[in-house]
Amino acid sequence: MSETKPTVMEQIAAFIVDKRNLLFLMYILAIVFCFFSMRWVDVENDITAYLSEDTETRQGLTVMDKEFVTFGTANIMISNISYEHAQVIADELKEIQGVTKVEFDHTIDHYKDASALLSLTFEGEEDDPISMTAMNEVRDRVSSYDTSISTSIGVNLADQLAREMQIIIVIAAFIIIVVLLFTSKTYGEIPVLIITFIVAAVLNMGTNFLLGKISFISNSVAVVLQLALAIDYAIILCHRFSEEHEQLPTREACIIALSKAIPEISSSSLTTISGLGALIFMHFKIGEDLAFVLIKSILLSLLSVFTLMPGLLMLFSKIIDKTSHKNFVPSINIVGKFVVKTRYIIPPIFLVILVLAFIFANKCPYVYGTTDLRAARRNDTQIAADRIKESFGTDNLVALIVPSGDYEAEGKLLNKLESYAQVKSTLGLANTEAIDGYMLTASLTPRQFAELIDLDYEAAKLLYSAYAVHDEAFGKVVNGLSEYGVPLIDMFMFLYDQVDKGYITLEDELMDTLEDLNNQLTDAKLQLMSEQYSRMLIYLNLPEESDETFAFLETIHDEAAQYYEEAVYIVGNSTSNYDLSSTFGMDNIIISILSALFVIGILMFTFKSAGLPVLLILVIQASIWMNFSFPYLQNTSLFFLGYLVVSSIQMGANIDYAIVITSRYMVLKKSMPIKEAIIEALNQSFPTIITSGAILASAGILIGQITTDGTIASIGVCLGRGTIISMVLVMFVLPQILVLGDSIIKRTAFAERKQAPLQKASGKLYVSGRVKGYVSGIVDADISGVITGEVHAMVDSKEIRQEEPANDGKEFECYEKN
């Protein structure tokens, strides 16, 4: 190390290196803690939970969760079976404890083309033990048949997704090792890199509980994306250490390398963090959730690289020295020469593609629901749902929540809605049959009620009198009960309550009927009516998301407004999709503008130029548009969240590739012609770009091909494809733009220092001052002495005098550089 006083950064680096054993102990304790704290992380599996509180879906779901019970259900399709045999199975399943209802009949909704569809309802909600136990017995009963079972009971998608991500991580780790073996300078670097990443990943997973509840998306993809986004930082420090270790002992090399790497890595990470930071401003709060988890992962990766990795480099230094190998990364001068030769051909083609990509990307067919999302792989539950849908189609169900108490209004509204061709059927208390053709909400007089359940008329009158007193309808008792009508559901519930309290005694047969009715009514009320709200189920003859569907949701609201002045809510996949689609436009603008502005600001500060950041952003933005042109050209749907997340990551992370080339080019062009500078810049940048790009692209492709979750798969596919496109554009288009736009870069530079004139001379020269340029080679130094040879350089000189003329007799020339 230099004998001069160490800088502040060198002092910090020395402290980290010298206190490495203490830091090792702290990391060990942190890892042990994180292994326990991982269990504290609360994962949200419902994507609609991140909708804004002012959306109809979020408000409606809040009411539903508070006011109603939704029993577990299952659809079981048995193929290659007769109707009679299927009926026998349906009867058997109905006898299983915990199964309250089995719907099966001879209509095409339940029997078609030798396939039977049995719709089961369970006694508890989908996560209740009684439902899961019953579902397991149902599976056992039908296991010998050709069955397809679609249900969420007993299906833990979170665990399944976690298993898939473990496979992805293992394969990604293998790919990373292969890439590092190819691009590293010594095999001993690889365990250092792997340990550093594993520690950073464990720290991130173990501290997720500090964020409260996180989404299943963040919980699943954060580890893989952390690996892909942050491994660059460790590679930079490794390369710095190798360079310094060529001249310095291990400790000193590590200190100098770390002191140089901290500002370089911190600057590089800012673009990634800023791109992710734009997600925070999304109206759809899944962006904020993902941003916090990933930004935390980047910061913890930086911490591990800065404070753990130096100690590991010291620990593995002997192995690193012994396992050095030749450079496997080939020189790509031929690519650079091709880029220079085609600099007037490719940019015009690029501009045409840029315009087309912008048009196609804006025509991308987005989807906002997960029902029809298709990942490359399908799990058993998804395959079963697909088979059922192919045979019997699917029901688009929405729930209409209205203020309770007005049975007449409910009945009229249900009848009105059923008159629309877009409605397949409806279900509510007002159109649910109780007994002998009477609906649950039908108003019956004492005589009608007595005849219905075969009750003595006088006893019925006494029952109605008691109800009137209970209902504080004293006028009915005084004026006579003969015309006093009470909704059937209310009278049944009141009668059962009186019997249960011992005030009324019924015959055994009537009591059995009342018990059966009470069970049905109790279930109906739990699902369809609370003290404040009533819920109606509407089955639509429309897809879950389309302009016609979204328009009909407004029609339902208009019809409900005819009967209710208070707010009503429509809840369902269609409503959720509508709310998501309405936020997408604004979120798209926010992400695009903020991510670009954040990155431009960082680039302007880094390169001290106003024009250069625009050129870099142009290339990366082009890669984003090209990436999202593929769904349009392939006529495939793209999940909107994949666009928002990946466009942010592409802008924040892939811009680093452009920065690597540009930084090297800006340095090299000071000492050589720009054509040679760009060739050399490409050659020097290729190992970094191919390492980082291959890892990030592989991570995205693996996620897209292995996970069965359509939401996460869409993010993976777009990320892998976008990274590859960014690498191609950065390697082939960006260099040409830099060369052609060199004058723009100079003119838009901040506080550009006026260059010294370019002077040319040969022979024996006396120089006193600063010389930069060709002097029988390249010189950039303070020189005081005699040069014998040829000078073609910018000279900021106190004195320059030609002692002897050149052999050609030409005198000394001095001229301004054009």
pLDDT digits (tens, 9 = 90+) for 575-594: 988 988 888 888 888 888 88
Query: Are both 258 and 320 inside the same structural domain?
Result: yes
Give the residues across from 102 on adjacent strands: 120
> How many angstroms from the chain centroid is the CA of residue 661?
29
Q: pTM of this prediction?
A: 0.77
413 assigned to some structural domain? no
Report residue 357's pLDDT band, with 50, 70 and 90 as the boundaries: very high
What pLDDT was estimated at residue 799? Answer: 47
Report residue 402's pLDDT band, with 50, 70 and 90 as the boundaries: very high
Give the CATH number, domain containing residue 729. Answer: 1.20.1640.10
Query: Are both 794 and 653 inside the same structural domain?
Result: no
Region 376-382 average pLDDT: 82
What pLDDT was estimated at residue 497? Answer: 83
Percent pLDDT > 70 in the chain is 90
611 assigned to some structural domain? yes
Last residue of a domain, one of 104, 120, 151: 151
Query: Are both 717 and 737 inside the same structural domain?
Result: yes
Under a CB-based contact definition with an 8 Å cutoff, are residues 646 and 719 in contact? yes
What pLDDT was estimated at residue 116? Answer: 93
Region 131-139 average pLDDT: 92
Q: Residue 437 region, left (φ>0) first, then alpha (ψ -120 to 50), else beta? A: left
What pLDDT was estimated at residue 807? Answer: 46
What pLDDT was estimated at residue 636? Answer: 87
Q: Residue 64 region, left (φ>0) first, then alpha (ψ -120 to 50), else beta? A: alpha
- For the chain, give the mean pLDDT: 83
Has residue 756 got a pLDDT over 70?
Answer: no
- Please indicate whether residue 265 or residue 16 has the higher confidence score (pLDDT): 16
Report residue 562's pLDDT band, with 50, 70 and 90 as the boundaries: very high
Last residue of a domain, one of 708, 743, 778: 743
Report residue 692's pLDDT band, with 50, 70 and 90 as the boundaries: confident
What pLDDT was estimated at residue 392? Answer: 85
Give the CATH number, domain containing residue 83. Answer: 3.30.70.100
Query: Are both 170 and 262 inside the same structural domain?
Result: yes
Query: Are both 100 and 245 inside the same structural domain?
Result: no
Has residue 487 got a pLDDT over 80?
Answer: yes
> How many angstroms from the chain centroid is the CA of residue 378?
19
- Please indicate whether residue 462 or residue 479 has the higher confidence score (pLDDT): 462
Most confident of 351-355, 681-685, 775-779: 351-355
Under a CB-based contact definition with an 8 Å cutoff, are residues 135 and 122 in contact? yes
33 assigned to some structural domain? no
What pLDDT was estimated at residue 26? Answer: 95
Give the residues across from 818 on adjacent strands: none
Region 17-29 average pLDDT: 94
Has residue 782 got a pLDDT over 70?
Answer: no
Under a CB-based contact definition with an 8 Å cutoff, are residues 275 and 598 in contact? yes
Has residue 1 got a pLDDT over 50?
Answer: no
Pairing of strands 486-487, 443-444: antiparallel
Query: Are both 643 and 682 inside the same structural domain?
Result: yes
pLDDT digits (tens, 9 = 90+) for 25-74: 999 999 999 999 988 988 888 888 888 888 888 889 888 888 888 888 99
Under a CB-based contact definition with an 8 Å cutoff, are residues 677 and 605 in contact? no
Give the CA distances from residue 49 to residues 216, 323, 586, in Å, rounded to whole numbers and listed in that order. 11, 52, 19
What pLDDT was estimated at residue 813? Answer: 39
Query: Are both 190 and 265 inside the same structural domain?
Result: yes
Task: Measure the CA–CA gap between 717 and 723, rounded to whole angstroms.
Answer: 10
What pLDDT was estimated at residue 320? Answer: 87
pLDDT digits (tens, 9 = 90+) for 650-687: 887 778 888 888 888 888 888 888 888 899 889 888 88
**E-assigned strand segments in 610-661:** 638-639
Report residue 760's pLDDT band, with 50, 70 and 90 as the boundaries: low
What pLDDT was estimated at residue 306? Answer: 93
Q: Roughly what angle, to the nearest 10 degrees, separates helices 20-37 and 189-206?
A: 50
Task: Measure the CA–CA gap between 256 and 244, rounded to whole angstroms.
Answer: 7
Q: Which of 376-390, 560-574, 774-788 has the lowest mean pLDDT?
A: 774-788
Query: Are both 116 and 192 inside the same structural domain?
Result: no
Has residue 161 got a pLDDT over 80?
Answer: no
Query: Are both 304 and 243 inside the same structural domain?
Result: yes
Region 465-485 average pLDDT: 72
What pLDDT was estimated at residue 721? Answer: 92
What pLDDT was estimated at residue 184? Answer: 78
Give me the number of domains the chain comprises: 3
534 assigned to some structural domain? no
484 assigned to some structural domain? no
Q: Which residues contact 153 (CB under 8 A, 6 or more apart)?
A: 72, 73, 74, 122, 126, 127, 131, 132, 135
Max distance between CA atoms of the chain, in angstroms, equals 138
82 assigned to some structural domain? yes
Query: Are both 134 and 211 inside the same structural domain?
Result: no
Domain range for 109 is: 73-151
- Please indicate whether residue 799 or residue 173 has the higher confidence score (pLDDT): 173
What pLDDT was estimated at residue 134? Answer: 93
Q: Roughly what angle, to the nearest 10 degrees, separates helices 157-183 and 189-206?
A: 160
Query: Are both 146 and 174 inside the same structural domain?
Result: no
pLDDT digits (tens, 9 = 90+) for 603-645: 888 788 888 888 888 898 899 999 999 999 998 888 888 888 8
The tokens describing 332, both together, are 């790509």
52 assigned to some structural domain? no
Has residue 2 got a pLDDT over 50?
Answer: no
b/e map 344-367, b = 16+ CB within 10 Å:
eebbeebeebbeebeebbeebebb
- Rg value, the chain, Cα: 37
Last residue of a domain, one of 129, 151, 173: 151
Under a CB-based contact definition with an 8 Å cutoff, are residues 666 and 607 in contact? yes
The tokens describing 130, both together, are 């009684």
Task: Measure the CA–CA gap between 650 and 713, rounded to whole angstroms.
Answer: 16
Has residue 187 got a pLDDT over 50?
Answer: yes
Q: Which of 286-295, 352-361, 365-374, 707-716 has the lowest mean pLDDT?
A: 365-374
228 assigned to some structural domain? yes
pLDDT digits (tens, 9 = 90+) for 509-518: 778 777 877 7
- Please indicate whether residue 767 or residue 547 has the higher confidence score (pLDDT): 547
- Cα–Cα nearest to 294, from 230, 216, 202: 230
Query: Are both 182 and 294 inside the same structural domain?
Result: yes
